[in-house]
Amino acid sequence: MYALQALSKGKCSCKISGVSKLKMKMHELAITQNIVEIALEYAQGARVKRVTLEIGELTAILPDAIAFCFDPCTKGTALEGATLEIITKQGLARCRQCGAQVCLELPFGICECGSMDLDVIQGQELQIKQLEMEELCA
């Protein structure tokens, strides 16, 4: 399993409503190309039947745009025709003051105790969770 943690750190800082759809698709296109490259490297020539991704809701990556870019990026590769499954992970943080878990829709928030001192514990993931491959016969 290869993690794409480095990709999730390059978050888009602009508001989605102010960004053109083309620019957002170009962002996800580059990410999808990297996902395909990593999956191909791991598959080592075996035909891939299914790719399961885990994408955190705090990554500023649109799962629908990744799905849209997947087929064109896999054309002519061992991933062509593979099924893409995307699992989204909700944003969660732990309050440093009281220890409570806080659901996040943005990379920041406020705990019920009033504290804004939060540690994000989930929602920034971007990783390939599973590759289902056909076995190569010798």
In CATH terms, the fold of domain 5-92+122-133 is hypothetical protein PF0899 fold (3.30.2320)
Q: Tokens for 123, please give them.
A: 């929602």
**Confidence at residue 23, expressed as pLDDT on a 0 to 100 scale:** 45
**Pure H helices in 1-138:** 5-9, 21-43, 63-74
Query: Where in the chain are the domains?
Result: 5-92+122-133
Give me the pLDDT at residue 3, please: 34
Q: Residue 11 is encoded by which pair of tokens?
A: 């978050």
**pLDDT computed for residue 138 by the predictor:** 58
Taking 70 as the pLDDT cut, the residues of the chain under it are: 1-26, 136-138
Beta bridge partners of 95: 118
**Count of CB atoms within 10 A of residue 99's CB?**
9
pLDDT of residue 107: 86
Helix (H) or strand (E) holding 70: helix 63-74
